[in-house]
Amino acid sequence: MSVFNNTQITCPACGAAVTFELVHSVNAVRRPDLRAAILDRSFQRQPCPTCGTAFRVDPQFTYLDVARKQFFAVWPASNLVQWRDYETRSQASYDKAFGPGTDGAALAGDLLARCVFGWLGLNEKIIAAEHKIDDVELEMAKLATLRTLGDLKLGADREFRLVGATDDELSVGWLRTSTEEIDDEYSVPRQLLKDIHSEPEKWAALRADVSGGMFVDYRRLLFGKA
């Protein structure tokens, strides 16, 4: 079931109180329109009735798509620096729904369970799956690409994300977290994913850098080191 709650929030432009139908959970099988709205970036965006400025609320909800075998715990982008805490919370919420002895237990082995931060992080997981790209190998390819570019920038408002793919190439780029605008876009040969897949030992260290829990992302390495 997809769940929304009417919540009073403050317009970031004029400060007026706005009643917002805030999402709590998305069931993408029953509501494919919500998945489409996430992908076209219109989801949870609406104009303020007082000043007319359209704004988008930072995401905090669970996303379930049993047809595509996806469970995503989605958190505000600004929570990234505390990713260890939110990874633990994501795991707890996953276990509550799909752990041993729960109604969802039968599904658990099949689901890709991930913790993501911000709309861009969520979009990327959905786009990768759509193009049959393993998300761990994608993050490894991104990190390898950044090192090749010598462009490992740490900015809190910049994210290096997959934005599309063809049979031969991945389109990746630097996007701004705040505006979701793309600054620089690069094409990476899809062959890089095949190389990573076929030589696991050579890439083992990079795999450890981007994975290890539900937060599978190149930024594991860059933010909030223990």
Residues that bind Zn ion (CB under 5 A): 11, 13-14, 16, 48, 50-51
Shortest distance (Å) from residue 21 CB to Zn ion: 17
Pair type for strands 112-117 and 70-75: parallel
Query: Is the Cβ of residue 51 or residue 105 nearer to Zn ion in the bound state?
Result: 51
Q: How far is CA 36 from CA 116, 140, 163, in A?
A: 18, 27, 15
Check if the beta carbon of residue 64 is closer than 8 Å to that of residue 70.
yes
Query: Is the Cβ of residue 49 or residue 224 nearer to Zn ion in the bound state?
Result: 49
Give all strands (DSSP E) within the chain, no chain letters. 3-10, 17-27, 45-47, 54-56, 61-65, 70-75, 112-117, 158-165, 169-176, 182-189
Nearest one of 145, 131, 178 to 159, comparing CA atoms: 178
Query: Is the Cβ of residue 11 or residue 116 nearer to Zn ion in the bound state?
Result: 11
- Bridge partners, 19 (sequence order): 8
DSSP helix, strand, coil percent of the chain (3-state; round to 5): 35, 30, 35
Shortest distance (Å) from residue 24 CB to Zn ion: 24
Query: Is the Cβ of residue 14 or residue 105 nearer to Zn ion in the bound state?
Result: 14
User: What CA–CA distance (Å, rounded) separates 79 from 66?
Assistant: 26
Shortest distance (Å) from residue 58 CB to Zn ion: 17
Shortest distance (Å) from residue 11 CB to Zn ion: 3
Query: Is the Cβ of residue 56 or residue 84 nearer to Zn ion in the bound state?
Result: 56
User: What CA–CA distance (Å, rounded) separates 23 from 21?
Assistant: 6
Shortest distance (Å) from residue 6 CB to Zn ion: 18
Query: Is the Cβ of residue 51 or residue 81 nearer to Zn ion in the bound state?
Result: 51
Shortest distance (Å) from residue 156 CB to Zn ion: 25
Token look-up 């911000």 returns 118
**Amino acid at the residue 119:** W
Shortest distance (Å) from residue 10 CB to Zn ion: 9
Query: Is the Cβ of residue 16 or residue 156 nearer to Zn ion in the bound state?
Result: 16
